[in-house]
Amino acid sequence: MLDKQILKIALTTELKHLQSTQYGLALHTTTRELGLAFRNFAGDTRSEVWYLERELSSHLHQYLIEFIKPHTWADLAFIAVAKGPGGFTGTRIGVVTARTLGQQLGIPVFAISTLAALAWSQVFQTPSQSTQSTIAVQMPAQRGQVFGAIYQPAPDASGLRILLADTVMTPEAWQEKLASWNTDYQLIEAQSGIAATVTSVLQLAHLDWQQGQRPHWSEALPYYGQHPVEI
């Protein structure tokens, strides 16, 4: 009985950690920039951002191939993608690409909120302060509205707890929400350089991986501020 328990613990531990030869790849395409991150969480890590504007759809595949060299697709254990909110076309391209790779490679695809990645980047920059407070994130939306979300970092830095899921609302409604919030919070306003948080997209996905999550590629859907869209 003891041997079986030890084996069970060993197998569980193995599932929660990537081998040094396995990598996670993250894509961030919700703005006019392309952000890519590649990491095995054992010392080998890199990320880069390019301003592609309307050339994203025609150049993304080539950028991906060049970026992961000298590694190959077979080295990927999972894929992470910023699912939005953000620009409609760019967000869709990123999610479709991640889903296609996940399907062809037979690996999990983690769809991570753009706002959650922004919140996590704040935790990563100031861990001693950010883990003690609530983080509110806002981003401009169409027709004068805003996207808003509120998160609470886990005390052990194991991820983010969603206090208010990504929501589109009027600026007045968002301000009322913040004014009625019963705890102190940090406010992050999404502006430029959002694609640089692709490293946070990858980190959040890896935290989910460590917790045993293995989302099927078909579960990765873009968030446009409306109902999920089947793609």
pLDDT digits (tens, 9 = 90+) for 156-200: 778 899 999 999 999 999 999 999 998 889 999 988 889 999 999
Judge contact between 195 and 49, C-beta under 8 A: yes
pLDDT tens digits along 76-123: 999 999 999 999 999 999 999 999 999 999 999 999 999 999 999 988
Identify the pLDDT of residue 155.
Answer: 80
Q: Is the pLDDT of residue 62 over 70?
A: yes
170/18 Cα distance (integer angstroms): 42
Q: Is the pLDDT of residue 154 over 70?
A: yes
Beta bridge partners of 138: 148, 189
Q: Length of the chain in residues, anyone?
A: 231
196/41 Cα distance (integer angstroms): 18
Q: pLDDT tier at 17 (50, 70, 90 boundaries)?
A: low
| Strand ranges for 32-183 from DSSP E | 33-39, 45-51, 76-82, 109-112, 134-140, 146-153, 160-169
pTM summary value: 0.87
Domains of the chain: 2-114+194-219 (3.30.420.40), 115-189 (3.30.420.200)
User: 132: closest CA among 189, 186, 182, 205?
Assistant: 186
